[in-house]
Amino acid sequence: MFGDLVHLAGDVTQYVTLAAGAYGGAVLARTQDQAADAAVRVGQRLAQRIFGVRGEDEEVPEALADVIDDPDDGDNQAALRKAVRKALAGDAELAAQVRQWGQVQEAHKTRVRVMTSGERSPAVHTNHGIIATGDGNTLTR
């Protein structure tokens, strides 16, 4: 059971990190951004379910605040993952609800994780071509 929570917390943390990077301090607010992609929306819903809905001006838990400040920092992500795991371990009903969410459950089953955050960060599962980031790239065939 504990190992299962470790994997589940890891999967959840990836979504929450994406949402924290996209929404910043408003990640726990009830606002909906229709332009946000599905993974970001799932991350926001997970963050709200785990940490509670709060107003944009209200303080967020320290582990989440650190990820909001620097979503690419691995130490921040590890602290958030631990906070998520503790929340799931402390509330069996919450853990069961989170397991039922389609995207998290699917990621948990397949162990394939393709997520990224940060400016110009590509994420692919399989690539049979060129991925070019940055300005002024010239690609020829």
Most confident stretch, 16-20, 36-40, 122-126: 16-20
Q: Residue 134: which H helix or E strand, with range?
A: none
pLDDT recorded at residue 93: 92
Average pLDDT over the chain reads 80
pLDDT recorded at residue 80: 94
For residues 108 and 4, what is the distance between their CA atoms, to the nearest angstrom?
9
For residues 22 and 112, what is the distance between their CA atoms, to the nearest angstrom?
22
| Among the ranges given (18-22, 79-83, 120-124), the one the predictor scored with the smallest mean pLDDT | 120-124
pLDDT above 70 (res 102): no
Quickly tell me which residue has 């691995």 as its tokens: 74
